[in-house]
Structure 1
């Protein structure tokens, strides 16, 4: 079966900014109004998606909710072929075994000059790739063909940030040029225009994060505002406020705590039940905070600054914590931080300079010396992510490329 792509000239499938922006409601197109060709196209998309991922329980048409899904084995049985990381073998420091493979962009239509969004699906061997052209593609990740499954074009909407929802059913796309955002349902092949409530004031959806518990979408707004939306209905809940501008957000693995970082150099810890700041501290030696990441085992908090410094804090921390390690390998503002799912690698990158990316061996607090090499040519990194079992590292750059690297210490995905 060949590539499946949403025709950007098809007004019934492409997303249009002409959608009514004044009402907070879902913008699903009524199926009764669809032509037979459109219905058949969506049927093909569903069949192709299910052939890769498997028929998940949440896709069955019955009265059961997603909460009826049982234990982890039950979920994995419906979520595609996931390999497990190698057991009993610790990741060695010094030199990392990494190999560049076929990129995720080679099978997709152009995402634009800059790939701002690259993320792996939480349970299946899939990834999304999106960028300045307003196109987001879903790719099957195997390291060889990386076949495109489907692609959607958001009209007049440069994609600056896109994430899968925690359950993997949808992805959400935002832009620095729009206050509103879009949601795309992978199973139904439908787009939802989400107008942002006027009460939150000026806001852009160029930086947002999904809470791991699947409840919240948190967006970095202007003037220190952090806007919270429900992940299910995409409705605005409330706005939190910190001093200065907010630059970065990250959540604990259970979603009960959120950390924020901004241009004043202070890190805030928020209780997501009470929606109150419970702690805050000054990042050591920081003048302006630019990025933030929390390890998936909740042991380490990494904070990047405009000076290219990354401070690594051990959790839980004291009232005035000092970093366990300060990493000085980058010389320009640290714009991306990401831990792999095993919490043994921290990737650090700056989009201000070519090839400005380093990988940290977390347990030894040392940087791998062999990545990137002079032949890697990764460009300026604008997006990056590790696959669920750390088998792959994906990098989106300023050359319209979605690069893929295989970490051979781990299994394929």
Structure 2
């Protein structure tokens, strides 16, 4: 059976006080002109009502026209206050501008804006940070058992909702393909699915036929049909997103370290501790091809570019091997480039939406993050700098159109950076 309770409100919110007169943008939350101080619970309720007014169901996550975004905050890279360009535009314009905007490998223009979760920092390491498909909302989650949702504008980044999972420190959380649900898992044999519009949390009762003690690692297919859980003994467990039930297993040799989907969800790629990468045909469950990661540096993670042209394999040594599609035609392909800028185990890798940037990070040492220019296979030399306050990077993500880069760390903060090359969030 499915269980669970509706969204839980943090009891600390009752002691929190907010002045509705302190910031112009909060004045709209007042019920009377003379009203000023409210507690955290009342504040969150008013924010949610305001959010629903601006983003009515069912298109609750879509922007109501174009809005300018501003930054009153910048770090050592850019200390002057800058007004940001519009982060919303028509699809046609975006597609046209994306085709014309080729990213230079010499430098990348980055501006720091307000921390994404400044309204409610986490009490633990940020395990997951993900943007909603609209680019207007971001989730954070971690071992404090709390999932938080923020409306991202680069300035206030108001918190919309917080959900407390009393029996599960969260290892990973992710939006569904449509953005209507959030899947959260931990070191438990069950997982949770949050229906955002209804505010309802459903708890799975595990995966029938599988004795998995932990479902902490998973990946959602771009098509929205599949949950792929990394199981024991080389098993990848495919679960239907509709029924939440087991559909099929994919079996590797050795243990599964990471998986990544093709853009059309037709293929799933996986890598094991033996440095062998598998290409699976999802419809049949057949392995179509296997190849060895050059060097065999004990892989830790895997990423496939949105255009399906590049494959990145991160390793325990800190090496990241980048391949093109010829790796799918030979058993022992040669990497296009081995990136050796990081020296501890690669923990996270993400391609941006147009496959021009690969972000890599390690949580083994402070400030271990680099951005790679994929067309030239060079690391951007100008950012991050020595003054960039990354701390220990635990998670990262790009917004859907790459206007933002969000970086979670060990301090419970999500740093937010504007990538000025891209006009849209």
- Please give the range of the TM-score, normalised by the shorter of the 2 chains: 0.7 to 0.9
| Partner of residue 200, structure 2 | 190
2:371 paired with 1:369: no
Alpha-carbon distance, 1:6 to partner: 3.6
1:109-128 to structure 2, matched below 5 A, reads: 110-128=121-139
SS in structure 2 at match of 1:116: strand
TM-score between the two structures when normalised by the length of structure 2: 0.80
Q: Matched residue pairs, number?
A: 362
Gaps of 5+ in 1: 11-39, 60-74
Distance 1:51 1:267, change over 3 A: farther
Distance 1:79 1:289 in 2: 44
CA contact (8 A) 2:44 2:161 kept: no
Distance 1:182 1:78, change over 3 A: farther
The partner residue of 1:406 within 385, 394, 418 is: 418
Distance 2:126 2:196 in 1: 20
SS in structure 2 at match of 1:199: coil
Distance 1:187 1:240, change over 3 A: same
Distance 1:104 1:247 in 2: 29
| Partner of residue 226, structure 2 | 216
Alpha-carbon distance, 1:123 to partner: 2.1
Residues 65-84 of structure 1, C-alpha deviation per residue, up to 9 Å, x if partnerless?
xxxxxxxxxx9799998443
Alpha-carbon distance, 1:101 to partner: 1.1
SS in structure 1 at match of 2:126: coil
Distance 1:6 1:48 in 2: 20
| Partner of residue 328, structure 1 | 340
| Partner of residue 65, structure 1 | none
Distance 1:316 1:168 in 2: 34
Alpha-carbon distance, 1:122 to partner: 1.0
Distance 1:312 1:199 in 2: 37
CA contact (8 A) 2:145 2:166 kept: yes
CA contact (8 A) 1:217 1:231 kept: yes
Gaps of 5+ in 2: 1-6, 13-41, 67-86
Distance 2:294 2:111 in 1: 35
SS in structure 1 at match of 2:209: helix
TM-score between the two structures when normalised by the length of structure 1: 0.82
Alpha-carbon distance, 1:173 to partner: 0.4
| Partner of residue 387, structure 1 | 399
SS in structure 1 at match of 2:239: strand
Residues 263-305 of structure 1, C-alpha deviation per residue, up to 9 Å, x if partnerless?
1100000000001111111100023110101110111011111
| Partner of residue 22, structure 2 | none
| Partner of residue 143, structure 1 | 154
Distance 1:355 1:340 in 2: 20
| Partner of residue 249, structure 1 | 259
Distance 2:303 2:53 in 1: 34
